[in-house]
Amino acid sequence: MFYRVSLVLLTGTILGSVSSPALLEASGNPSGRSGYFNNYDKGKSQRSNDRRDFSHKNNSYDQSNSRGKYEERSHGRGDDYRSSEEKGNSRDTKKKGNYSNPQEKRERGFGASNNSQPSQDKIGLKKIDFTKSLRKRPEFRDLFNIPDSYQGVVEWCNTIRDIMKDKNHRDYNRNVNTIFIARVLTSLGQAVKKNPKLKSVLDEYFRAQTEFLDLWEDLVGIFLEQNKFNEQGLSNIFYGNVQLGGILGSNFLAKWETQALSRIKAFNEQGLSNIFYGNAQLGGKLSSDFLAKWETQALSRIKAFNEQELSNIFYGNALLGGELNKEFLTKWETQALSRFKAFNEQELSNIFYGNVLLGGILGSNFLKKWEEEATNHLKSFNEQHLSNIFYGNAQLGRKLSRDFLAKWETQALSRLNEFKEQELSNIFYGNAQLGGKLNKEFLTKWETQALSRLKAFNEQELSNIFYGNALLGGKWSDNFLKTWETQALSRLNEFKEQHLSNIFYGNAQLGGKVNKEFLTKWETQALSRLTEFNEQHLSNIFYGNAQLGGKLSRDFLAKWETQALSRLTEFNEQHLSNIFYGNAQLGGILGSNFLAKWETEALSRLTQFNEQGLSNIFYGNAQLGGILGSNFLAKWETQALSRLNEFKEHGLSNIFYGQALLGNPFSQKFLGAWKETFLSKRTNGEFQDPSAEIHSIYLAIQRFNLQKEFAEDLFQEIKLLSKKHGKKNKITTSQLQNSVFESLQFYSKDKDLGDLEKEAFFESVMSPVDIYLKKYGIVVEVQGPSHFLSDQKTAKPEDRLKEHILLNDSEGKVCSVLAIPYFEWNSLKNEQEKVDYFNKKLFPIVQELNLRSPHQETLKDSDNLKSSAMNIVLNLGEGKDLNERNLRIPYKKRKFPFSNDGFDKDTVPGAYESSENKESEIRLPFKKRLLPQLSGEIDFSNGAES
């Protein structure tokens, strides 16, 4: 005889709204268990080993970001922050019920003997006569009223275990029957839903009392083989397993699926909905064959599903990543549209967030009607719904109207103290993704709420709000940041690799807000787990370190390089681009072996790089002085030309400026295409921050004398914007620069060199120079460590470009450029040594420029002056051999051999050397140097020239 469980008894388990859809993740295997029934022992050990672990994990996504040169995650995805809808809190489950002490286990009942049989009266139950029918008996209903206490649920489980193993109840058809066995699982699921903290108690109980699940699976297995369960019983068992976190193994699910598949047509709409949604919560355990037949059945009855079932199917499909086909989703959307007014708040929230997880597949008409209906329900949404809607809108890229968001903000602000920590975290991070749409009052009250509960934030939430603050440019108060840092530091070893990566990169975005102690401990944690970081994490850490100017130790970077090199083929194009550009920002710290393999990998995927990636690679190569091979650059040019219209303004300016850094004139084909694209974007107003981008373009025009290539009015506009950019930059002088200026000022008075001008502005480069001796047209540039590549000897191409433009300016204001490297200046021990230094470096130039003639007279014969200055170079050194090495050989004639430590100074032409051995270079007008002639075409084969 088949028994149908009363729907009234199962309302809380099956018909209740899905208040917190969550993908229950678990892994690991409990120890094997021995069964009671000899006729069902076969395969039991395999079943035990394949059963899911009972630990209920906190379900929360992580995300990388990605914007600009940093991959988000992607972001990314990366992805990667999960919604507050998936809100299992591991700390809640650890507070109680996780008993590691054996004595405590015995006191709680976990260690009770298998032979013990606690009285059912202890938990308020009557003795049940299982020889009679169980249908509608009040004592049967009482049996499944599980006590809502830790001790009570343990005693209840012991009672059920003893009933299942009692030899007097072996008549399965009448006594321990399908109703009883189905109610065991569904009642446990209902109890956990009512009080989620009981889950940790059950997890520990099932680990300690392994016989319970063996007995239950044995009985169910027999009933499944005998075909005793009807469709509702099959549905309830499956969903009860879901509510308990998927405690049953794959052997059981295989037998269940066989039975369910044989009568898939007999399931009603509720059963179909629960099976599909439950499978989604388990992470997709059912076979593709089962799902295909399920879809056929569900599609044929799509009009019969109620609102909750439609909502659960759609959200379940989102959790599975989109298993349902386009035809099904189209008919689902039509059906849902026709019944919008019947959806409640939970269902509206789940549909919206499911659409987010699927990447926004629902049409604009659907979203418009959703917004209309959601507006009517806005006061009825709970805090979780409000959080999910706001965060989901951020993921979709602002699909909801300003009017809706204004009303949302009013509702959320009035209930801000009721939001949980994860909901507060998601709201803040969503606002960051939207670029900061919430007003100042909201953020102030948010900070007050979050600050009062910061200790309750878990590691992911701490990571998310920190990275969100970075995206917003740093909105937190100093007190909040300090409190956050204290909390994060105390739990640094609990952060996952994604969190560690996001914190480090966020700190880089903020310009390095966290203190040195935090970074030191962060590095220790990250170094111990470096092999566990994925490719996106590795890429973000390296690029973040570049943005911070290189805060990580050499030991860390060496081990990072080893890890990255071993997985270079696994990096995507965004990662490869970020690593190369970050290396350029750091002055080229990666070894030649790494760069050679990087170039091979990037070359094989050059067509897959997006425009920003192509731009960053070219600009990074220029910053490093041109290290990529001619074959790579030729293919790069082909790719760039074919997609030039798709480059954003910043990318276009970087390409133009990068070419100037390399010193290679543009080919007419590339220059023409670039100009056409530039003019089109200027006309359309696509340059969002024109002054910075135009400044780079202006310098390239100056470098190659391209003024006539642009219309006069356009060139004057470029010049004006570049000047605006140069003037608005705040001038700061370093201690090194002040030291040189003070000593040179004293020396100038002694030698009658005239007045010195600090930070003199030159329109030819639209920027100031460190020191200018106007009387003789001499520019003195003080070069700190940031002016050099990683070898700390070779000046960066930016300095060389500035020098070239200054020396070749048509106004002839600059006759010579003298560079004073920090390592030469810092080696001088006293004022006398500094005077000797100027006598050796500066005074010979001044002598040859004729101290007795005013500078303005000298400038009348600029060519003679420059020719005379060239003679200085050829005769300087009082008989010493000042050969071509000291004159800065053109980049296109240089070779840059690498070692693992960077450039080899002994083989790099033009590298600075100690003043004890060689004369420091004296820079003279470019047109008078002994350099080879430049061709009119881009020469990719010979590197770069400066």
Reported as a single tens digit per residue, the pLDDT across 565-589 is 999 999 999 999 999 999 999 999 9
What pLDDT is attached to residue 892? 37
Measured distance CA(535)–CA(569) in Å, rounded: 10
Where the chain has pLDDT below 50, the residues are 1-137, 169-175, 852, 854-946
290, with CB counted inside 10 A (0-12, 13-18, 19+), is middle
What pLDDT is attached to residue 35? 27
Find all residues with CB under 8 Å of 522, minimum gap 6, and list them.
492, 500, 503, 504, 514
Measured distance CA(782)–CA(770) in Å, rounded: 7
- DSSP character at residue 616: H
What pLDDT is attached to residue 499? 97
Give the closest residue to 744 by CA, choosing from 757, 733, 734: 757
What pLDDT is attached to residue 277? 94
| Inter-residue contact 718 to 700 (CB < 8 Å) | no
Q: Which residues pair with 264 in a beta bridge?
A: none
What pLDDT is attached to residue 202? 87
| Inter-residue contact 891 to 625 (CB < 8 Å) | yes
What pLDDT is attached to residue 250? 83
Q: Cα 101 to chain center, whole Å?
A: 40
E strand or H helix at 220 = helix 211-225
What string of DSSP letters covers 550-568? S-S-HHHHHHHHHHHHHTG
| Inter-residue contact 502 to 510 (CB < 8 Å) | no
**Strand pairing category for 816-821 and 778-783:** parallel
Give the closest residue to 233 by CA, choosing from 510, 46, 14: 14
What pLDDT is attached to residue 316? 96
| Inter-residue contact 500 to 466 (CB < 8 Å) | no
| Inter-residue contact 883 to 921 (CB < 8 Å) | no
Give the closest residue to 802 by CA, choosing from 696, 672, 922, 649: 696
What pLDDT is attached to residue 211? 86
What pLDDT is attached to residue 300? 95
- DSSP character at residue 934: P
| Inter-residue contact 525 to 492 (CB < 8 Å) | yes
Taking the alpha carbons at both ends of the chain, their separation in whole angstroms is 93
What pLDDT is attached to residue 761? 92
Find all residues with CB under 8 Å of 795, minimum gap 6, and list them.
783, 787, 788, 789, 819, 912
Measured distance CA(862)–CA(811) in Å, rounded: 10
207, with CB counted inside 10 A (0-12, 13-18, 19+), is middle
What pLDDT is attached to residue 369? 94
What pLDDT is attached to residue 850? 59
Find all residues with CB under 8 Å of 682, minimum gap 6, and list them.
none
| Inter-residue contact 660 to 619 (CB < 8 Å) | no
**For the CA atoms of 153, 158, 161, 165, what is the dihedral angle to 10 degrees?**
-170
| Inter-residue contact 270 to 15 (CB < 8 Å) | yes
